Amino acid sequence: MVLTLAVGEEPPGERRVALVPESVRRLSAAGHTVVVPPGAGAGAWIPDSAFSEAGATIGTAADGYAAADVVLTVAPPAPALVAQLRAGQTLIGMLQPLTSPGLVRELADRGITAVSLDGLPRTLSRAQAMDALTSQASVAGYRAVIEAAHAYGRYLPLLITAAGTAKPAEVLVLGAGVAGLQAMATARRLGAVVRGYDIRPETRQEVASLGAEFLELQSVRAGSGEGGYARMLDDRELAAQQAELDGHIARHDIVITTAQVPGRRPPLLVRGAAVERMKAGSVVVDMAASEHGGNVEGSVAGRTVVTANGVTVIGADDLASRMAGSASAAYSRNITALLLHLTRDGTLAIDLTDEVQAGVVVTHDGTVVHPATAARLAQPEGAPR
């Protein structure tokens, strides 16, 4: 038995595509049928002809959904897509179940098996090829520096010219996860003086290995959380951290924040008072900006604002999408690896005793089977997250 796979339509503004021709060839060689809607790869500069040559069928989205056993997406699907799904189908994407309770309930009620790559256990070595959060964070970290350099309007490296000497830009990256480390590495390649901060002590060596300086804070106890993420700070620690960070932030030309906590509001790291102390022309990139908040006071997801004192604050909620070609290629490999992991003898085989599946399968047989998501749904509306 083989599967019919449909590439889903993405919400407006999303330029990535769930499969690229390279993965279509791999899936077609395994006997699966792949249906791609016209123009699906346009945002990543992939023409329909490239998909056809790789073995995909170009068909309308409605026809693809009607025939598909599995629908593949990047972003959480729009209501119009969900309305076209039927019981027994499988939806695979980065569905953000911890912050999308309405979507999870609807998928469960409709009898759709929902598989979300953002629940993948990131500490499992055998799951690395499926780790879309890591691949997309790496792309976003690179792009964050490009956006910052563009907005900064000055040289990043030290330059000695006949017209004089240009001092190197000083860049501070808050958070030394995948995105933060990639941002540090990119800023260093561009010649900036780079400093990084994270509460996890094990990141010190990683920051130093990139040629960046590890920023020491005396007010916060170091510590790691679960799954490779930083732990949540209590209110006292957050206040102490912010107060000490304010002085460091003010002396940097570019500040990039990357701190996110799965399913929760991002921590506030850069207060308005710190931004007010920065020099005119400085840039702050908030990679955690979303509808749930961000790391920077005053940042707005999807918008760039300039403060009264001339600091550019970028609410960077779509950085991976701005690098759609590279991001799509990486994501396509991730989703293909996961799909093949879920497949036995040409059909999907859901097995919640498997560590990988236990992390990614959110709904199945009309039930929310992911424990953390089920617990979130059981919380009263408006409960703190």
In the prediction, which pLDDT does 260 show?
Answer: 85
In the prediction, which pLDDT does 39 show?
Answer: 96
In the prediction, which pLDDT does 294 show?
Answer: 94
Confidence at 14, pLDDT banded by 50, 70, 90: very high
Q: How many CB atoms lie within 10 A of CB 30?
A: 14
* pLDDT exceeds 70 at position 220: no
Q: 33 forms bridges with which residues in the sheet?
A: 4
Q: Measure CA 72 to chain center.
A: 17
The one-letter code for the residue type at 220 is V
* pLDDT exceeds 80 at position 2: no
In the prediction, which pLDDT does 136 show?
Answer: 97
Rounded to an integer, what distance in angstroms lies between the CA atom of residue 230 and that of residue 222? 9
> How many helical (H) and strand (E) elements, i.e. helices and strands, does the chain have?
14, 19
| 156 token code pair | 């990043």
Range with lowest mean pLDDT among 4-18, 91-105, 205-219, 223-237: 223-237
Rounded to an integer, what distance in angstroms lies between the CA atom of residue 234 and that of residue 223? 12
Q: How many CB atoms lie within 10 A of CB 364?
A: 20
- pTM, two decimals, is 0.91
Cβ–Cβ < 8 Å for 207, 184:
yes
Q: Distances from the Cα of 74 to the Cαs of 92, 117, 133, 331, in angstroms?
A: 8, 9, 11, 8
Query: Of all residues in the chain, what percent are helix, strand and coil, respectively (each to 5)?
Result: 40, 20, 40
Cβ–Cβ < 8 Å for 170, 253:
yes
For 15-48, the pLDDT digits (tens) are 999 999 999 999 999 999 999 999 999 999 999 9
Taken in order of first residue, the domains within the chain and their CATH numbers are 4-130+324-378 (3.40.50.720), 141-317 (3.40.50.720)
* pLDDT exceeds 70 at position 1: no
Per cent of the chain over pLDDT 70 is 94
* pLDDT (average), residues 274-297: 95
For 116-172, the pLDDT digits (tens) are 999 999 888 899 999 999 999 999 999 999 999 999 999 999 999 899 999 999 999
For 53-76, the pLDDT digits (tens) are 999 999 998 999 999 999 999 999
Residues 6+ positions from 371 with CB-CB distance below 8 Å? none
Rounded to an integer, what distance in angstroms lies between the CA atom of residue 27 and that of residue 60? 20
* pLDDT exceeds 60 at position 231: no
For 300-348, the pLDDT digits (tens) are 999 999 999 999 999 999 999 999 999 999 999 999 999 999 998 888 9
In the prediction, which pLDDT does 384 show?
Answer: 53
In the prediction, which pLDDT does 221 show?
Answer: 60
Instruction: Let me know if 300 is exposed, middle or buried by CB neighbors in 10 A (0-12, 13-18, 19+).
Output: middle
In the prediction, which pLDDT does 177 show?
Answer: 94
For 262-276, the pLDDT digits (tens) are 767 888 999 999 999
Confidence at 232, pLDDT banded by 50, 70, 90: low
In the prediction, which pLDDT does 236 show?
Answer: 77
Rounded to an integer, what distance in angstroms lies between the CA atom of residue 97 and that of residue 20? 25
Confidence at 378, pLDDT banded by 50, 70, 90: confident
Question: Pick from 350, 342, 348, 382: which is nearest to 369 by CA?
Answer: 350
In the prediction, which pLDDT does 128 show?
Answer: 94
Between 370 and 230, residue with greater pLDDT: 370
